[in-house]
């Protein structure tokens, strides 16, 4: 397994509460990603990071924020959770070798988040 | 909207047969193509990646890429019940290190 740890693995919380998910890597890879996976939609990119303090939005970024203060950690925050954010969240990492072909992404084990 | 399309399946094949999984993409500038396998309740696992037109083989798996037709496929030879999973096709955006994923094809291998 690529050295990726997601925490927590499961969380149940109430609407309106803040939630932070953590992704920790030991591979020293430059790129880190947060996805959500829902039935019928596949994997959708929320935010990604291309270096410390360098982040950008993905396809479904509304309602989410991220931070990356160290190479190894990428945090995803739901400031005020809503039921529509109930999902499975995956973190992924990849190396970068400049322009041209992308390097494969490797995924963590996921966090199952339920918002009641 | 850049898209990646896959037949959702399920695709059912008998044990020992060849399973053929297909994917089309909309962005002509895409250069990198990936196949992931995902078992129920688990995370996606990289199986193959391909960058150039033609075939790339790795064990029982062959990835095929045709950029002119914007088409990438995955062949699984000698299919086993353990190959039963959802197979995700992913394609890079023209710029940046981001991927767009298809919704996945469910494969069922019957013994």
Question: pLDDT tens digits, residue range B3-19?
Answer: 999 998 999 999 999 99
- Chain A residues whose beta carbon lies within 8 Å of the beta carbon of residue B45: 107
- Nearest one of A106, A111, A97 to B46, comparing CA atoms: A106
Question: pLDDT at position B73, please?
Answer: 98
Q: How far apart are CA B31 and CA A100, in angstroms?
A: 7
- Chain B residues whose beta carbon lies within 8 Å of the beta carbon of residue A108: 43
Asked if B102 is an interface residue toward chain A (Cβ–Cβ < 8 A), one would say yes
- Chain A residues whose beta carbon lies within 8 Å of the beta carbon of residue B89: none
Asked if A34 is an interface residue toward chain B (Cβ–Cβ < 8 A), one would say no
Question: pLDDT at position B97, please?
Answer: 74
Q: Establish, for the pair of chains A and B, how many residue pairs have beta carbons separated by less than 8 Å.
A: 54
Question: pLDDT tens digits, residue range B66-111?
Answer: 999 999 999 999 999 999 999 999 998 766 678 999 999 999 999 9
Instruction: Tokens for A41, please give them.
Output: 């939609």
Rounded to a whole number of angstroms, the distance from the CA of B49 to the nearest CA of chain A is 7
| Residue B2 predicted with pLDDT over 80 | no
Q: Which of B31, B99, B103 sits opposite A105 (nearest CB)?
A: B99
Query: What mean pLDDT is predicted for residues A18-30?
Result: 96
Asked if B89 is an interface residue toward chain A (Cβ–Cβ < 8 A), one would say no
Cβ–Cβ gap B97/A31 under 8 Å: yes
- What is the band of A101 on the pLDDT scale with cuts at 50, 70, 90? low
Query: What mean pLDDT is predicted for residues A77-98?
Result: 92
Query: What mean pLDDT is predicted for residues A4-30?
Result: 97
Query: What mean pLDDT is predicted for residues B25-32?
Result: 89
Give the residue, B64 or A96, on which the prediction is more confident: B64
Strand order in the sheet with B54-58: B4-6, B19-25, B71-76, B61-66, B54-58
| Residue A100 predicted with pLDDT over 60 | no
Burial class (CB in 10 A: 0-12, 13-18, 19+), A106: buried
Work out the percent of chain B whose per-residue pLDDT is above 90.
83
Cβ–Cβ gap A105/B34 under 8 Å: yes
- Chain B residues whose beta carbon lies within 8 Å of the beta carbon of residue A43: 44, 88, 90, 101
Cβ–Cβ gap B43/A110 under 8 Å: yes
Mutate which of A103, A104, A106, A112 to test chain B, going by most B C-beta atoms within 10 A? A104
Question: pLDDT at position A80, please?
Answer: 96
Question: pLDDT tens digits, residue range A39-83?
Answer: 878 899 999 999 999 999 999 999 999 999 999 999 999 999 999
Query: What mean pLDDT is predicted for residues B27-43?
Result: 93
Give the residue, A5 or A96, on which the prediction is more confident: A5
| Residue A97 predicted with pLDDT over 80 | no
Question: pLDDT at position A98, please?
Answer: 59
Question: pLDDT at position A96, please?
Answer: 73
Beta strand pairing call for A111-115 and A64-70 = unpaired
Burial class (CB in 10 A: 0-12, 13-18, 19+), B89: buried
Q: How far apart are CA A65 and CA B36, in angstroms?
A: 27
């Amino acid at each position: 397994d690529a050295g990726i740890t997601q925490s927590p693995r499961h969380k149940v919380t109430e609407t309106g509460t803040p939630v932070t998910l953590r992704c920790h890597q030991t591979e020293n890879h430059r790129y880190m990603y947060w996805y959500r996976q829902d039935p019928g939609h596949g994997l959708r990119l929320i935010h990604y990071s291309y270096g410390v303090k360098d982040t950008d939005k993905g396809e479904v970024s509304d309602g989410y924020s991220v931070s990356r203060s160290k190479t190894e950690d990428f945090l995803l925050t739901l400031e005020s959770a809503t039921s529509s954010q109930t999902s499975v969240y995956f973190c992924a990492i990849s190396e970068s070798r400049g322009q041209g072909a992308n390097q494969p992404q490797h995924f963590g084990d996921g966090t199952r988040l339920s918002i009641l | 909207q850049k898209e990646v399309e896959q037949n959702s399946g399920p695709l059912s094949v008998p044990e020992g047969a060849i399973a053929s999984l297909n994917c089309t993409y909309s962005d002509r500038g895409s250069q990198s193509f990936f196949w992931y396998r995902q078992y129920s309740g688990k995370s996606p696992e990289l199986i193959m990646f391909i960058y150039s037109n033609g075939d790339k083989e790795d064990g029982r798996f062959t990835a095929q890429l045709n950029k002119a037709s914007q088409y990438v496929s995955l062949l699984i030879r000698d299919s086993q019940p353990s190959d039963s999973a959802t197979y995700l096709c992913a394609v890079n955006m023209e710029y940046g290190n981001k991927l767009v994923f298809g919704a996945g094809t469910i494969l069922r291998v019957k013994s």
